[in-house]
Amino acid sequence: MQSAALRFLVQPLALALAVGVASCGGGSEPGGRAAPRPQLTLAAPTHHPTVGAPWRIAIRAFGPGGRPLRAEVRYRFLFGGSVVARRSHYRFSGTFHDTLRWPARSAGLPLTFRAVVTTRFGKRNLDYRVRVRR
């Protein structure tokens, strides 16, 4: 009786694990090929911007074949891993340039500038750590 009860518990667990493992494709397309990934990058001049000075950034979104992608970007500002401010919403294709100015209240704090980029391939966070100087 004890082995029947054990089988009753173990068989569904084994089935669930088998289905779970079989469904983990690791981002592959049918046929075993890897799913295409876009090239998304964020470039900034320094990790130590100055309060009030222009801080120019560039965001690039290109498809797997090197063609420009249509994308949207939203900015998030993080402190200690938590979002403390949200700014901007822009649409672009390929390369996007923007100039930000850091406020005095951000000076000396370990912050993360996050560009949340959305394309037809999905959404990705591009993080850039900064510590603003006076």
CATH code, domain with 125: 2.60.40.1930
- The set of residues, in sequence order, having a beta carbon less than 8 Å from that of 58 and lying 6+ positions away, is 42, 43, 44, 95, 96, 97
First to last CA, the chain: 75
CB–CB of 10/87 below 8 Å? Answer: no
Do 31 and 45 lie in a common domain? no
**pTM for this entry:** 0.72
Do 22 and 81 lie in a common domain? no
Do 95 and 111 lie in a common domain? yes
- The pair of structure tokens assigned to 8 is 């009753």
Give the range of the structural domain holding residue 15, as residue numbers without chain letter: 1-35
pLDDT tens-digit map of 111-134: 999 999 999 999 999 999 999 999
- The pair of structure tokens assigned to 74 is 């939203």
Do 56 and 111 lie in a common domain? yes
pLDDT tens-digit map of 54-93: 999 999 999 988 899 999 999 999 999 999 999 989 999 9
Q: Using alpha carbons only, give the angle 61, 115, 52 rounded to the nearest 5 degrees.
A: 120
113: left (phi over 0), alpha (psi -120 to 50) or beta: beta
Do 1 and 60 lie in a common domain? no
